[in-house]
Amino acid sequence: MERARIARQPAHLLLASEFGSATLHEKGSGEYDPSFVITKLGAKVNRIVAAGLLERLELRETSNGSSLYQGQLRDPTGLHYFSVGEYNSEMMQELAHQWTERLNDGEPLLVMMTSKTRWYQTDEGAVYTSLRPEEACVVKREVYANWLLDACQATMARMNQFTASLEVEPTLDAYARTGLPASLLAARNHYGEVDLEPFNLNLMQALDIAEGRIEAATTPPPVMTLPDGEDAAASGDGPGVDAFLLEAIGHLDQGEGVTFDTLLKNAVARGFVREVAEAKLDDMLDTGVLEEPRFGWFRLAPSE
Partner 1 sequence: MASDKYADYVQAVQKECPEADAGEIAEAFAKYEEEFYIPPQDAMRSVLRRFQSGTTPTPSGGGSTTTRQTKKVANLSELTGSDRDVEIEVAIVSHNIRDQMIRGEEKQIAFGMLEDNPWEENGQRTRWDYKDWGPHANLAAGSIVRIEGASVNEYNGKMSLNINQSTRIVVLKEGVATTVSSNDPIDINNIPKEGYICVVGRVLASRPDQIHRKDGSGSIDVVRGRLADDTGTIGFLSWEPFDHEVGTLVKVDGAQVRSFRDTPELNFGRTTRIEVYHDANFADLETLSQNTLTNVAALRDGSRDVDAIVQITEMTKRTFDRDGEEKFLWSGQIADPTGRCRISIWDALPFDENELPVTVQVKGARVRAWQGIPDITVDSADQLTMLETPPWDAEMDLTNHAVDVKLTDVVAGPSRVGMKTRGMLVSVREDSGFIKRCTDCRRVLRDGVCFDCGENEGTEDIRLRLVVDDDGVTAAVLVNKDASLAVLGMDQEQMRSKVEEVGDLGFVQYVRELMLGRQISVSGRSIVDDQGAMVLADGFELEEHDAQMRASELRTQWGWA
Binds partner 1 (CB under 8 A): choice among 5, 61, 192, 288: 5
At 245, the amino acid letter reads L
Cβ 28 to partner 1, closest distance in Å? 6
295 phi, psi to nearest 5 deg? -60, 125
Cβ 76 to partner 1, closest distance in Å? 12
- Asked if 47 is part of the footprint of partner 1 (rule: CB under 8 A), the reply reads yes
CA distance to 19, 187, 216, per residue, from 232 (Å)? 24, 37, 16
C-alpha neighbours within 13 Å on the C-beta side of residue 18? 30
Round to whole Å and give the CA distance between 184 and 74. 26
Binds partner 1 (CB under 8 A): choice among 62, 66, 178, 189: 189
H-run or E-run covering 54: strand 47-61
- Is 89 or 287 the residue whose CB approaches partner 1 more closely? 89
Give Cβ neighbours of residue 186 (< 8 Å, ≥ 6 apart): 24, 26, 38, 42, 44
Binds partner 1 (CB under 8 A): choice among 58, 107, 150, 292: 150
- Asked if 41 is part of the footprint of partner 1 (rule: CB under 8 A), the reply reads no
Cβ 89 to partner 1, closest distance in Å? 7
- Binding to partner 1 by CB under 8 A, coded x per residue (else -) over 203-232, reads xx--xx-xxx--------------------
Helix axes of 182-191 and 141-165: crossing angle, nearest 10 degrees: 80
Round to whole Å and give the CA distance between 211 and 256. 41
- Is 11 or 59 the residue whose CB approaches partner 1 more closely? 11
Binds partner 1 (CB under 8 A): choice among 15, 96, 103, 145: 145
28 phi, psi to nearest 5 deg? -70, 175
Window 98-137: residues binding partner 1 (CB under 8 A): 112, 114, 134-137
Binds partner 1 (CB under 8 A): choice among 60, 66, 106, 170: 170
- Is 44 or 270 the residue whose CB approaches partner 1 more closely? 44
Taking CB under 8 A as the binding criterion, the range among 100-108, 178-186, 249-257, 275-283 that sits at the site for partner 1 is 178-186
Please name every residue paired with 294 in a beta bridge, in sequence order, or none if there are none: 297
Strands 127-138 and 290-294: unpaired
* In contact, 206 and 69? CB cutoff 8 Å: no
Cβ 73 to partner 1, closest distance in Å? 13
Other CB atoms within a 10 A radius of the CB of residue 200 amount to: 13
The site for partner 1 (CB under 8 A) is made up of 1, 5, 7-13, 26, 28-30, 33, 47, 49, 51, 89, 91, 95, 112, 114, 134-139, 142-143, 145-150, 152-153, 156, 170-172, 182, 185-186, 189, 203-204, 207-208, 210-212
